Amino acid sequence: MNASLEPMRRAFLEVLLRLAMDPQRMLAAGSDVWERSLRGGVPPEPAPSAPDRRFRDPAWREQPFFDGLRRAYLTGAGWLEDLVAQAPGVDRHTAHQARFYARQLTDALSPSNFPALNPEVLRAARESHGLSLLKGLEALCQDLARGQGQLATRMTDRRTFRLGENLATTPGDVVHEERLFQLIQYRPTTPTVYRQPLLVVPPWINKFYILDLRPENSFVRWAVERGYTVFLISWVNPDETHADVDWEDYLVHGLIAALEAVSRATGEERVSTLSYCIGGTLLASGLAWLAAQNDPLVASATLLTTQVDFSEPGDLGAFVDAPQLERLEAHMRERGYLEGLEMMTTFNLLRAKDLVWPFVVNNYLLGREPAPSDFLAWSTDPTRMPARAHATYLRELYLHNRLVQPGALSLAGVPLDLGRVKTPLYVQACREDHIAPFRSVYRGARHYRGPVRFVLAGSGHVAGVINPPSANRYRYWVPKPRPVASCRNATASPGNAPASAPNADVFASHSNAAASSLDADGIAPRGKTDVIASTPDASASFVDADGIASHADADAWLQDAEEHPGSWWTDWECWQSERSGERVPARIPGEGGLRIIEAAPGRYVRSRILPE
């Protein structure tokens, strides 16, 4: 058997053995599937806001054969997934794997994925006299060629998008370059800017321009327009020459080097930071690394969909155990990196029903071109992962969870302890995130000593983050209002003068002194619970305004949180503006301590793995 299928075989075998040892449960399961079949076989139809797109064609309900097929499939799929989830005596990791692979199996076996069982495919083939199937076969061959033998399914028409033309178009310049990254400084659009510069630390899984897509949904452009001097790390797309690059290299020769370069460019001793996904995990490591040396270089930090506590890592945890890591490490040593297509496939499998099978049906069974999408153009532009750094990330953080164990992980000779981090933090999670589950992000937020504001956004790992206020989509949850409500900067317009924010009722600002002593930003500092007891005049809502200290888990926090429509960006701006200093004359790239190397988006981001 293929080694990649061994975890699935092992998990299913364990579940079957446990079920076989419980005949009563098996009898109940058989009775359950019979009852489901008798009552029509399907749960209540999904709400109109969340239909099952696999069965959107009217024939799935209007024609008895296809309606029965749909019902039988949904009955069997639901029964199998429930049965696997109820297996007794299975350890947590194996149970997680079994549920994950059961979902993969049921997603793959959907009748919509088979040409002879999908009414839309049959109709298209009949109307085109078979041409749709021939086009699909041609597309399949082209995608196999693109992936050099691996299936690289096109999820969007990338010819519609070009870096520097309609993606990553915010004006800026590369002002610093090292082996691991280029540093971009964006050009100001306001006469004055906040004194404190803002360094954006994106993930190196995929590329930075998720934060600078089209002008209308670019977070970078939005921040520049609001008076921030924005710098951004553009990571190199590694090859075999980066095989020995480790996690600490990304820290010392990546994050720290970029922070020091920003300081040189602006003349400021302290830098604000904003990070995303694995970039946030690196930033959290950096905060602990700096705290261990009493270095105040980072003034504030925003962690978007960032995990630091991997005790509940979500579906990616199904791929992380000692045997799988040993095979993966041996595989990566062959070339010195993990190929980007493999990483992309792994992420797509986490939501195969949405990110794998719809494109199989559309491209190969219906013979249609995929629709243009800026999000998918970005997600299908993957990067490689250096072998050593990726092994460290998976083994030390995912498997052993050492980042949250004081002193268990050392980088560049410095033991890390998140409990020493006093930097003001803005921690954002997404409610439907399948990569960094919000409960895991919340758990991680409880490890810091300093003030933390926790905010939960609607939607998933990407759409929940890239949600500009102008889109009027989704919603977000914040702690209930603080006793005093104000905001220095207008969130709706980029003017130079401070103004009250439209969401001021959900955000109250206090001085940095108050934040550091009373934890006005949220989490009561670890080891400082005596603050509440010794400050009887301060209400609990003031001391622990975000409620993380008083809510042991994310669900309890959410139950007490306040829901708001729209984008979390305005809440972040209110928080960040309070921590960015006074306004100073705008800074022009090249006029500070660093010279211009080339125009943004730079060379590093243009290195592609897959042909367009």
Which positions ≥6 away from 591 have C-beta within 8 Å?
none
CB 552 within 8 A of CB 226: no
Please count the other Cβ atoms lying within 10 Å of the Cβ belonging to residue 399.
17
Please give the DSSP secondary-structure letter assigned to residue 535: -
Cis peptide bond N-terminal to 601, omega within 30: yes
530 vs 536: CA distance, rounded Å: 11
Task: Give the distance from CA 559 to its chain's centroid.
Answer: 23
Classified as helix, coil or strand, 545 is: coil
Q: Helix H segments across 479-586?
A: 512-518, 530-533, 540-543, 554-560, 569-577
DSSP-derived secondary structure for 342-385: HHHHHHHHTTHHHHTHHHIIIIIIS--PPPP-HHHHHHTS---E
What would the two tokens of residue 156 be?
A: 């969007």
What would the two tokens of residue 369 be?
A: 């071109």
77 vs 3: CA distance, rounded Å: 26
Partner residues linked to 465 by β-bridges: none
Q: Identify whether 141 is a catalytic site residue.
A: no
309 vs 454: CA distance, rounded Å: 15
Task: Give the distance from CA 573 to its chain's centroid.
Answer: 20
Q: Which of 331, 428, 345 is nearest to 382 (CA)?
A: 345
CB 561 within 8 A of CB 458: no
Classify strands 172-177 and 181-186 as parallel, antiparallel or unpaired.
antiparallel
Q: Which of 396, 429, 443 is nearest to 306 (CA)?
A: 429
355 phi and psi angles, rounded to 5 deg: -115, 0
Catalytically annotated residue among 141, 277, 430, 574:
277
272 vs 198: CA distance, rounded Å: 5
Classified as helix, coil or strand, 215 is: helix
Classified as helix, coil or strand, 520 is: coil
Helix axes of 119-127 and 131-146: crossing angle, nearest 10 degrees: 110
Classify strands 298-304 and 425-430 as parallel, antiparallel or unpaired.
parallel
**Identity at 40, one-letter amino acid code:** G
Residues identified as active-site: 277
